[in-house]
Structures are given as C-alpha cells and as structure tokens.
C-alpha cells in the first residue's frame, strides 16, 4: 500500500506533469477569456492540479531538502494558490451610491460574493459629506476628493478624505469612490394617510457621461404613482474649453410629470398627487462607490514577496558560482 | 514639441549609426566596439533628453499613448542592451540580432502620431512607476536573451558560423540566455505583483483578467514553461533558443499588441 502511495506521489510530483499543467492553465485562461459563459472550472482544475503537483514535488523530490530557497519558493507558490482559492470563496464586490449627507446603511445596489462570505456590512456606517472633482480642458477628470465621516471601533466619529487610490477601509471592507456621480433631487413625501413625512433622494444618471439624459422614472414610497423627473439647467457645468469643477447648477428647474400633468418645481414647491404630497427640497450631489472585501490581500502580498525573494535568492546562489562574462 | 521631436530624431540617427556599425562589425569581423558604445550612449543621452522634455511639457511620464510607450521601451531596451554590450563582451555580436529588432521599433515610432493622451487620476501613484519599471527590466532581459538565441539559431542553420566565431560555444550561450530568462522571470513576477497592488488601489480589484493582465500572465506562464522545460528535458541550445524567441514574441505582443486589440488596456483606466 505504502509503495503504491509513494509511486502515486512520485507520478504526481513529475516535472513533466508540471509542464502539462502549465499548458493546461494557459489553455484554461484562453478558454475563460474567450468564453461568453462562466468557465471557472477551466482555471480551477489546472490550479488544483498545480497545487497538488507542487506539494507532491516538495514531499518527494530530494532537491528541495538540498536547496532551501527553491523549497521556500515552491511553498510560497502553493500558499498563493491556496490564498487565491480562499479569497474567491469569501470575497465580496459591490456597488453603492450615497447622496451628500446620506449614511451608508449596508444596502448595496449590486453585489457578487463568494459562497462563504459572511457579511458584516450592517455593522458599518459612514456618511458622504460631499466631494470635489477638478476637470481639465476637454472634460478630463482629475483627482476625486470625497469627504467622509465614519464611526471607529470605539463609536467615535472620524472624518477623512478618500478618492481614487485612497479607499475608506472599515472592518476589512474597502470603499472606493468611482467615476459615477451626479445630481440627486431631494424630496419630502407626505402620505395622504398622515404620519411622519419621509425624506428621500433620487439619483439621476451619472454626470457628465449622461449629460443629456438627466431624467428618471420612480415611485414615491408606498405610492403607485409613477413620476417622470427631469433636471433642467442652462449653464455649462464642465466647460470643455477651460479647467472646471463638478458642482451643482446655480439655477435649475425640476420637471415632474405625473400622469398627464407636467409641473416645473423649485425648492420648496409642492406637488399634490392622489395618494400624497411631494415636496421638492432641493438639489444635492451623489457619489458612486465600489466596495471590495478580501481578507487574503495582506497575506497574498506577503506570500508574493516571499516567492519573489526566494526565487531571487535561488538564482543568485546558482549564478554567482560562475561570472556572467566568463 | 518641435524641440522634443528634433532631439528624438537625432537620438534615432545615433542609434541607427551605432547599431549599423555593430552589425557591420560582426559581418566584417572588425572590432569598433568603443565607437559603437559611444554612438549608442550618445543616442541614449539624446533620447533621455527628449523624454525629459516631453515629460516636463505634458506633465506625466511616457506611459499613455502608443508613441510614448514605444519611445520609452526603445529607451529601456537600449539601456538593457547597452549594459549587456558593455559588461558582457561575449555577447556583443548578438547586436546583429538585437539591433534589427530595435530598428523595427524605431521605424514604428517614426510612423506613430506623437500627440498627447489623457493621464487618468488612477495613474497618479508610485506603483505605476514601479510596475512599469519592472516590466521594462523584464523585456530588456528577454531582448538580450533573444539576441543570444538568434545567434544560436543562425549558427544551427549554418548562417554566419564564421562571423559568430568570436562568441562562446552554443552551450555557453544557452546558459547565458537562460540566466537572462531567470532574471526576466523575477522581474515579470515583480511586474505582476506591483500591477496587482496598483490595480487594487486604482480600481478596487487586484486582478480582473483584463486583456493586458491576461496576456501578461500568459507570458509569465510561457517564461516559467521555458525554464522548466529546459531543466526537465535538458534541451538542446536550439530548442531553448526557439522557446526564448517564442516568449519574446508573446511578450512583444502583450506590450505592444494588446493596446491595438483593446481600447482600454486596463479596464477602468479612464
């Protein structure tokens, strides 16, 4: 039995098998890259084989007992494969939008997550306190500076600026500003049946990408009435001819169409509807964020550093025995 | 822009003179190596000046347009070959293979529009420089390996056997070229790691299989395959040389081909 296991391990540790696996991995990448449907198996199968091949080689090949650097390099490679697998099983990637002054409540607009992701987003709270984005001539976006406030571990509120390469990191979740941002009309909804008025915002399509499509269809909370809302303004916000900055228009009109009725609203105006009253409170901005969670990131970085370092150490030892110019 | 282009064309004239002389010295079995070094070094100094003037004018490094990518890679590949030419006299005749590759890139550069591109805010990070720097060392090491491999292949085809006689035997050349591939593997790995760190902070993900990431990883696999295959099968120098040329072709297509098949080499770059 033991002889059989040893023979199987040696077969699994074969350097020729390594070459076959490298080709299979390359083929899997090409298949996945060109495939319209999800083909995770094309990467997973060669990677599992790769890890098994490396582990068997480390266990059976005597060279790893003589060459420590090579051993460390191969162990680091196995670690990287295992960490990538663990990361894919537990990661989270999503998108959210927050109007200025709005608090993140744990709701993501879109998300994908590994099967073993245990969400802690409901324990996270931060507020979008507004942003600045400079534009170069030609409407070329510059740096994003988004002021955010969040509660730290002791419950104290902290403030900081995030944007582009600087995410907000809370409980391992990394919140990045995205290039999506725009205008957010705010409303108070007074339901016909009484009760506390509800405050809410609608996020018009991203600006300036959808500069000429600043309209949205939506329904007030608890209402069956569909409203078509369009933001109208004449001034140029982002001038293609000169440097400018994203800002709210100084003068604007909010056009609301409810059934056959069309109204132009200014902040403070009210619109009577069959099941309530809509009060326009004014215009704000909204910012789009991407959120990413992968607990393996620092470990992956460490494993990569060890892999490269040990590879360099291995080759240095090998080549220093004979100078390059001899 | 005229000053910068004028200096760049002057640099290319020096490169062509130095490179042609290096090729002629192989063909005529002469040894004007100091002159070759001086001409290439002068070209490199002028090229550095041209890149610096452009950097100052447009406010960012040569990383955005095809003109900038080609120009900066010609610069880095020339640095790599010049260092090898200076420090490893044995490989000097490999200029007959390396310089024509550089001439093709210079011709391509001259046909490319020198206009400016937009430098996105996600590029404003030190990791961009680290990532690109490692990539340039990788490609430089593979280019010199290709020069040596070209000599092995020419010899095995019976071409220029006598002209390349000052070079060591093909076994030693094979060893030298695989040393360079090992250096290439280290720097390709560093390039991928630095790129992943940049991508994580710039776009909120460290790896997304975008065209450039995919082809760069395929190149890494090809380098690993070539090194492993040589060890496993104790390959002949010709076989090793063919694998190195294949790796170079793949790397070349990754560096200069992907921007043509994808409008955004790294998705989310703008």
For chain A, the three-class secondary structure string (H helix, E strand, C coil) is: CHHHHHHHHHHHCCHHHHHHHHHHHHHHHHHHHHCCCCCCHHHHHHHHHHHHHHHHHHHHCCHHHHCHHHHHHHHHHHHHHHHHHHHHHHCEEEEEEEECCCECCCCCCEEEECCCCCCCHHHCCEEEEEEEEEEECCCEEEEEEEEEEEECCCCCEEEEEEECCECEEECCEEEEEEEEEEEEEEEEEEECCCCCCEEEECCCCCCCCCCCCCEEEECCCCCCCCEEEEEECCCCCCCCCCCEECCCCCCCEEEEEECCEEEEECCCCEEEECCEEEEEEEEEEEEEEEEEECCCHHHHHHHHHHHHHHHHHHHHHHHCCCCCCC
Is residue A313 a part of any domain in this protein?
yes
Report long-range pairs for B29-32 (Cβ below 8 Å, ≥24 apart). Answer: B29/B162, B29/B163, B29/B166
Judge if A84 and A102 occupy the same domain: no
Judge if A87 and A136 occupy the same domain: no
- What is the pLDDT at residue B262? 57
- Residue A103 to residue A108: CA distance in whole angstroms: 13
Closest by Cβ to A311, choosing from B89, B186, B206: B186
Is residue A324 a part of any domain in this protein?
no
What mean pLDDT is reported for chain B?
90
Q: Which residues of B touch A291 (CB under 8 A)?
A: 204
User: How many domains are there within chain A?
Assistant: 2
Is the per-residue pLDDT at B267 higher than 80? no
- What is the pLDDT at residue B130? 95
Largest CA distance in chain B: 57
Between the alpha carbon of residue B54 and those of residues B47, B62, B114, B154, the distances in Å are 11, 8, 10, 39
Quick one: pLDDT band at residue B269, thresholds 50, 70, 90?
very low
Is residue A64 a part of any domain in this protein?
yes
Judge if A43 and A68 occupy the same domain: yes
Residue of B nearest to A294 (CA): B205
Judge if A126 and A241 occupy the same domain: yes
Residue of B nearest to A312 (CA): B186
Judge if A66 and A105 occupy the same domain: no
Is residue A29 a part of any domain in this protein?
yes
Q: Residues B54-73: what's their mean pLDDT?
A: 92
Judge if A212 and A239 occupy the same domain: yes
What mean pLDDT is reported for chain A?
92
% of chain A residues with pLDDT over 90: 73
Is residue B255 a part of any domain in this protein?
yes
Q: Tell me: the pLDDT tens digits for B211-264?
A: 889 999 999 999 999 999 999 999 999 999 999 999 999 999 998 888 666 555
Is residue A50 a part of any domain in this protein?
yes
Instruction: Report which of residues A233 and B260 the model is more confident about.
Output: A233
Judge if A287 and A310 occupy the same domain: no
Put simply, whether A24 touches B (Cβ < 8 Å) is no
Judge if A39 and A136 occupy the same domain: no
Residue of A nearest to B209 (CA): A33
Query: Does residue B32 have a cis peptide bond before it, meaning omega lies within 30 degrees of 0?
Result: no
Q: Residues B75-91: what's their mean pLDDT?
A: 90
Put simply, whether B189 touches A (Cβ < 8 Å) is yes
- What is the pLDDT at residue A71? 95
Residue of B nearest to A145 (CA): B121
Q: Choose the weakest-confidence range: B10-14, B96-100, B136-140, B261-265.
A: B261-265
Judge if A78 and A116 occupy the same domain: no
Q: Choose the mutation target among A69, A144, A164 for the interface with B, i.e. most B CBs under 10 Å.
A: A164
Closest by Cβ to B182, choosing from A33, A138, A315: A315
Q: Residues B204-209: what's their mean pLDDT?
A: 88
- What is the pLDDT at residue A326? 66
% of chain B residues with pLDDT over 90: 66
Q: Residues B92-107: what's their mean pLDDT?
A: 91
Closest by Cβ to A141, choosing from B121, B182, B225: B121
A93/B205 touch (CB, cutoff 8 Å), yes or no: yes
Closest by Cβ to A164, choosing from B122, B214, B270: B122
Please give the residue range of the domain that contains residue A213: 93-292
Chain centroid offset of residue B215 CA? 16
Is the per-residue pLDDT at B270 higher than 50? no
- What is the pLDDT at residue B261? 63
Residues 206-265 of B with CB under 8 A from A: 206, 209, 214, 217-218, 221-222, 224-225, 228-229, 231-232
> Are B156 and B251 contacting, i.e. CB atoms less than 8 angstroms apart?
no
Q: What would the two tokens of residue A14 be? A: 């074969």
A26/B122 touch (CB, cutoff 8 Å), yes or no: no
Is residue A325 a part of any domain in this protein?
no
Q: Residues A296-312: what's their mean pLDDT?
A: 96
Put simply, whether A131 touches B (Cβ < 8 Å) is no
- What is the pLDDT at residue B240? 96
Residue of B nearest to A142 (CA): B121
Judge if A269 and A126 occupy the same domain: yes
User: How many domains are there within chain B?
Assistant: 1
% of chain B residues with pLDDT over 70: 96
Closest CA to A293 of B74, B29, B206, B25: B206
* Highest mean predicted confidence (pLDDT) among A283-287, A318-322, B210-214: A283-287
Judge if A81 and A113 occupy the same domain: no
Please give the residue range of the domain that contains residue B164: 120-261
Judge if A64 and A182 occupy the same domain: no
Q: Tell me: the pLDDT tens digits for A167-180?
A: 999 999 999 999 99
Q: Choose the mutation target among B123, B130, B201, B204 for the interface with A, i.e. most A CBs under 10 Å.
A: B204
Is residue A326 a part of any domain in this protein?
no
Is the per-residue pLDDT at A291 higher than 90? yes
Q: Which residues of B touch A23 (CB under 8 A)?
A: 225
Quick one: pLDDT band at residue B268, thresholds 50, 70, 90?
very low
Sorted by sequence, the CB contacts under 8 Å of residue A209 that are 6+ apart come out as A179, A180
Q: Tell me: the pLDDT tens digits for A52-99?
A: 999 999 999 888 889 999 999 999 999 999 999 999 999 999 999 999
> Are A127 and A149 contacting, i.e. CB atoms less than 8 angstroms apart?
yes
Is residue B21 a part of any domain in this protein?
no
Is residue B236 a part of any domain in this protein?
yes
What's chain A's length in residues? 326
Residue of A nearest to B179 (CA): A319
- What is the pLDDT at residue B182? 96
B225/A22 touch (CB, cutoff 8 Å), yes or no: yes
Is the per-residue pLDDT at A226 higher than 50? yes
List helix spans (H) across B91-203. 95-111, 126-156, 170-203
In angstroms, what separates the C-alpha of A78 from chain B's closest C-alpha? 15
Residues 266-325 of A with CB under 8 A from B: 290-292, 294, 297, 300-301, 304-305, 307-308, 311-312, 315, 318-319, 324-325
């Amino acid at each position: 039995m033991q002889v059989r296991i040893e023979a199987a391990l040696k077969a699994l540790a074969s350097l020729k098998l390594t070459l076959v696996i490298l080709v299979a991995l390359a083929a899997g990448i090409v298949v996945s890259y060109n495939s319209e449907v999800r083909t995770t198996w094309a990467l997973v199968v060669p990677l599992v084989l790769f890890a098994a091949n490396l582990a068997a080689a480390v266990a059976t090949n005597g060279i790893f007992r003589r060459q420590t650097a090579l051993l460390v390099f191969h162990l680091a490679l196995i670690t990287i494969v295992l960490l990538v697998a663990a990361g894919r099983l537990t990661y989270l990637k999503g998108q959210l939008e927050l109007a200025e002054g709005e608090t993140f409540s744990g709701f993501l607009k879109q998300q994908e997550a590994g099967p073993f992701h245990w969400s802690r987003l409901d324990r996270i709270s931060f507020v979008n306190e507004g942003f600045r984005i400079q534009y170069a001539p030609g409407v070329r976006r510059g740096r994003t500076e988004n002021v955010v406030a969040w509660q730290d571990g002791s419950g104290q509120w902290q403030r900081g600026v995030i944007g582009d390469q600087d995410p907000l990191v809370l409980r391992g979740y990394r919140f990045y500003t995205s290039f999506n941002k725009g205008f957010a009309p705010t409303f108070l909804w007074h339901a016909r049946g009484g009760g506390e008025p509800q405050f809410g915002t609608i996020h018009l399509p991203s600006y300036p990408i959808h500069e000429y499509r600043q309209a949205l269809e939506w329904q007030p909370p608890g209402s069956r009435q569909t409203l078509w809302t369009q933001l109208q303004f004449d001034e140029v916000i982002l001038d293609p001819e000169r440097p400018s900055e994203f800002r709210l228009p100084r003068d604007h009109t909010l056009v609301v169409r409810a059934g056959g009725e069309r109204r132009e609203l200014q902040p403070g105006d009210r619109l009577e509807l069959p099941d309530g009253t809509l009060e326009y409170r004014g215009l704000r901005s909204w910012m789009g964020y991407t959120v990413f969670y992968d607990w393996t990131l620092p470990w992956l970085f460490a494993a990569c550093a060890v892999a490269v370092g040990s590879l360099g150490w291995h080759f240095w030892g090998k080549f220093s025995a004979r100078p390059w110019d001899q | 822009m005229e000053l910068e282009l004028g200096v760049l064309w002057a640099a290319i004239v020096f490169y062509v003179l130095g490179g042609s002389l290096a090729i002629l010295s192989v063909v005529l079995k002469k040894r004007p190596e100091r002159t070759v070094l001086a001409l290439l070094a002068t070209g490199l100094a002028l090229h550095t000046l041209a890149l610096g003037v452009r950097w100052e004018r447009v406010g960012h490094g040569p990383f955005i347009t095809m003109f900038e990518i080609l120009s900066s890679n010609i610069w880095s590949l020339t640095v790599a070959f010049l260092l090898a030419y200076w420090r490893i006299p044995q490989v000097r005749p490999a200029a007959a293979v390396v310089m024509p590759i550089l001439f093709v890139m210079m011709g391509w550069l001259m046909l490319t529009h020198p206009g400016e591109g937009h430098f996105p805010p996600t590029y404003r990070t030190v990791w961009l420089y680290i990532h690109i720097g490692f990539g340039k060392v990788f490609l430089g090491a593979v280019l010199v390996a290709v020069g040596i491999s070209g000599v092995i292949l020419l010899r095995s085809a019976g071409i220029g056997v006598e002209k390349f006689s000052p070079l060591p035997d093909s076994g030693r050349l094979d060893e030298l070229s695989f040393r360079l591939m090992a250096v290439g593997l280290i720097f390709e790995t560093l390039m991928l790691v630095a790129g992943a760190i940049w991508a994580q902070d710039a776009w909120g993900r460290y790896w997304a299989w975008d065209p450039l990431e995919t082809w760069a990883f395929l190149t890494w696999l090809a380098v690993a395959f070539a090194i492993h295959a040589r060890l496993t099968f104790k390959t002949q120098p010709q076989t090793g040389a063919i694998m190195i040329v294949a790796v170079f072709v793949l790397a070349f297509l990754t560096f200069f081909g992907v921007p043509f098949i994808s409008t955004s080499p790294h998705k989310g770059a703008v």
